[in-house]
Amino acid sequence: MGARVNIIWLQWAMRLAAAAGVCALLWATAGSSVALGVLAAMLLFMLLHHVRHQARLFRWLADPRPEALPVSSGLWEDVFAALYHLLRRQRRSESLLTATLHDFRQAGMALPDGLIIVDGGDRIEWCNSKAERHFGLDPQRDAGQLVTYFVRQPQFAAALAVDGYAEPLTLRSTHGGDLILSVLIIPYEADRKLIISRDVTDRERVETMRRDFVANVSHELRTPLTVIGGFLETLADMETPNIGLIRRSVPLMRDQAKRMQGLVEDLLVLSRLESAGNPVSEEPVNVPDIVRALHHDALALSAGRHKLELSLDSTAWVNGAEDELRSAFGNLVSNAIRYTPAGGEVRLSWRGADDGGAVFAVRDTGIGIAPEHVPRLTERFYRVDRGRSRETGGTGLGLAIVKHVVNRHAARLVVSSEPGKGSCFSVVFPAGRITAGEAVGVTPVTARTA
């Protein structure tokens, strides 16, 4: 650049020296007035040349496209060439910046977390699509709006006002369903902030379930332990053994111990079913045999108090785990007997469905269930009538086990019930689960036992 400037000075010096030389020559030969006139003409020509190029430069600056750069010669050609290179360099760095910004935004969009950038006045500059979903934002419409307009919780505004890192907040958002978000505010540059939001709905739900579960199990164990503990203390305090009290208390303690044993067994079954590393086995299961055996067990359980019917209209087998299916079906049968007063009827059936699937159903004429309870029956420890469930040895986990087994076999649990009239619990297997098994020679049966 310095060399170029020197050349310009040199060129001008040479031109002026040439003009002065011509002028001196004319002064000596043609007189002073001619010499000065020629000098004035030369200077005017130079001035016009510059004014013309200056005008072209201003015209071009109004719309400075490299391709529209005026063509020139001499000194102005150098000026325009320098401008051309400057402009090209600027365009190149502009497109590099645009590409970098685009890449950054694409990366921001791909983040699994929500990202909002706010300026010093807490106004939204940019957000990614996850943040749009978390807070119901529209990046075009809401850019420049106060972020607190969209996240209205006071603790968020308080955290935003903190200078420096704030602890992550747990907020409830009503956008895109009932979401629970963990929100972190990170200051950067002088006064801008990054707001990162993460959907922790599932984590919170699992945490709540875990807390409820521990509370429920403790509650379930407390009563039998209190009973047993009470009796044991009384017995321990006795100077001489009271045979009458021992005779009365031992069966009660045994019942309570049984209750705890049932609860622990059901908990173990549930935990086995829930463990991810325990896929369901795919053995052909002879369902008609299981249903027959359950009908037999039901006779013992009912002890003649109910009319028990068995209807085997299908010889189909199911691909799955025999012990799980036996346990799930057994829970449904035991419930039907426990929630049907003496004199009622319980019917077990296994039949084919129109779509090629098959249905195991237990229908009873028992106490029935009000519609508002039906959707919650398969929750752990959910009971319509706590007292009745306990009296009959229920753990409140039976239908939770059934639901797990049903899900593991890609089947559906269908419940229909009417209070005072009875209930029907059906396990509907899809056609894909049905296998012909070794049904040869099996004929449909209908058994009835009063």
Residues that bind ligand ADP (CB under 6 A): 331, 335-336, 339, 364, 366-367, 369, 377, 382-385, 389, 394-400, 423
Q: Which is nearer to ligand ADP, 273 or 384 (CB)?
A: 384
Q: Which is nearer to ligand ADP, 328 or 358 (CB)?
A: 328
Q: Which residues contact 253 (CB under 8 A, 6 or more apart)?
A: 227, 228, 231, 232
Q: Which is nearer to ligand ADP, 288 or 394 (CB)?
A: 394
> Could you give the CA distance from residue 69 to residue 83 in angstroms, rounded to a whole number?
9
> Could you give the CA distance from residue 306 to residue 302 in angstroms, rounded to a whole number?
6
Q: Which is nearer to ligand ADP, 195 or 377 (CB)?
A: 377
Q: Which is nearer to ligand ADP, 15 or 383 (CB)?
A: 383
Q: Secondary structure of 335-348 in the HEC alphabet? A: HHHHCCCCCCEEEE
> Could you give the CA distance from residue 40 to residue 19 in angstroms, rounded to a whole number?
10
Sheet hosting strand 317-320, strand order edge to edge: 283-285, 317-320, 434-435
Measured from the CB of residue 251, what is the shortest distance to ligand ADP in angstroms? 21
Q: Which is nearer to ligand ADP, 123 or 373 (CB)?
A: 373
DSSP-H helix ranges across 63-125: 75-110
Measured from the CB of residue 261, what is the shortest distance to ligand ADP in angstroms? 14
Alpha-carbon dihedral 55, 56, 60, 62, rounded to 10 degrees: 20
Asked whether 341 and 361 are in contact (CB, 8 A), the reply is: no
Q: Which is nearer to ligand ADP, 230 or 393 (CB)?
A: 393
Kindly state the tokens that stand for 193: 């902030």
> Could you give the CA distance from residue 124 to residue 118 in angstroms, rounded to a whole number?
4
Measured from the CB of residue 357, what is the shortest distance to ligand ADP in angstroms? 23
Closest CA to 292 of 333, 321, 323: 333
Measured from the CB of residue 398, what is the shortest distance to ligand ADP in angstroms? 3
Q: Which is nearer to ligand ADP, 180 or 367 (CB)?
A: 367
Q: How far is CA 283 from the centre of its chain?
A: 34
Query: How do beta strands 445-449 and 307-312 pair?
Result: antiparallel
Measured from the CB of residue 186, what is the shortest distance to ligand ADP in angstroms? 47
Measured from the CB of residue 221, what is the shortest distance to ligand ADP in angstroms? 15
- Residue 157 — φ and ψ, nearest 5°? -60, -40
Measured from the CB of residue 270, what is the shortest distance to ligand ADP in angstroms? 11
Measured from the CB of residue 393, what is the shortest distance to ligand ADP in angstroms? 8
DSSP-H helix ranges across 31-74: 32-62
Q: Which is nearer to ligand ADP, 336 or 405 (CB)?
A: 336
Name the amino acid, one letter, at 96: L
Start-to-end CA distance of the chain, whole Å, equals 113
Measured from the CB of residue 399, what is the shortest distance to ligand ADP in angstroms? 3
Q: Which is nearer to ligand ADP, 117 or 263 (CB)?
A: 263
193 pairs with which residues across the strands?
118, 187
- Residue 418 — φ and ψ, nearest 5°? -140, 125
Measured from the CB of residue 418, what is the shortest distance to ligand ADP in angstroms? 10
